[in-house]
Amino acid sequence: MIRTQVYLTEVQTRDIKLRAKRQNKPEAEVIRELVSEGLKTSPSTEKESTGQSLLRLAGIHGQGPTDLSNRIDDYLYGEDN
């Protein structure tokens, strides 16, 4: 594990202490679990699936790029792939 330091608000600190006490766990473990849960649900860490890309492209209703059929892979996966 890597040791790190973060600043928490008084409310966050209180809530973590209460949760740790209720779950009979160390505060550090509660914080690690909360961070893990947050990272799993964070949209910024999720890659768009192919299905999501297709639905997003379908939502443009004919307003998309004129070369879409020729460059579909570039639009779905990025030009670097």
Predicted confidence (pLDDT) at residue 78 exceeds the cutoff of 70: yes
pLDDT, tens digit, for every residue of 18-71?
A: 999 999 999 999 999 999 988 887 665 467 777 777 777 777 655 667 787 788
pLDDT at residue 17, as a whole number? 95
- pTM listed for this prediction: 0.51
Nearest to 28 by CA among 38, 41, 19, 37: 19
Q: 32 with 20: CB under 8 angstroms?
A: no
What's the length of the chain?
Answer: 81
Quick one: pLDDT at residue 63? 67
Assess contact for 78 and 72: CB atoms under 8 A.
no
SS (H, E, C) 33-60: HHHHHHHHHCHHHCCCCHHHHHHHHHCC
